[in-house]
Amino acid sequence: MSVRRIYPSGLACLLLCALICSPLMTAAGTPAPRRDPLTEKEADLVREAQALDERTKVFTKAVERRLLALAGPGTATSKQAQKDADKWGELPQGTRAELLYDIAGIFDEAVTNIEDVGSHNAKSSLIPKSLRILAEASNRFLPQLTAMRERAQEEREKDALERAIEAAQEIIAAASKLPPETQPAGKPKKQKG
């Protein structure tokens, strides 16, 4: 059974879009940059994270680090960046366009990981959980990405930014079509109020 049969309208759309939205050429007709969207330390953390939800958290942290790098030199010395340096390494380096392409590529890799787990175990409870983690992070990242539209000047940067925004939007849309989250058996729901 494939993932597409479980969540035909949401996850299938997300996964199909991820494959379609990652062509080798940019909108300007120039080859997309050929760099790994993850740093060496981040790639190691992905490999170490055996559970899909934990791997998805690594991907979302990698996107967060690129947004921090894009925010400017003052943020690189922030307390959080210093705290993360031992585990995650230094903040990623590159042009604005390269960092934005990295973000789109990381989203693509996260979706591919979800799809891969679905192809091996379509009923895995980690699939919707991971998609929700990715969507929650995308909801946080989307306003930051959208705000960058005004500052994007060169064509490669605009193209990379639009790819990252589209990926985040597609992830959010796919997650919104998931069935409601269920409470594990034996754990009572917390009452609000």
Query: Cβ distance 158 to 152 under 8 Å?
Result: yes
Q: What count of residues does the chain have?
A: 193
pLDDT band at 183 (very low <50, low <70, confident <90, very high): low
Q: How far is Cα 44 from Cα 63, in angstroms, rounded to an integer?
A: 16
**pTM of the predicted model as reported, rounded to 2 decimal places:** 0.77
| Cα 32 to Cα 5, 29, 113, 171, distances in angstroms | 33, 9, 22, 22
Indicate the domain borders of the chain: 37-176
Q: Who contacts 132 (Cβ-Cβ below 8 Å, separation ≥6)? A: 175, 178, 181
pLDDT at 54: 97
Scanning 121-154, the segments in alpha helix (DSSP H) are: 126-147
pLDDT tens-digit series, residues 77-93:
567 667 788 899 888 99
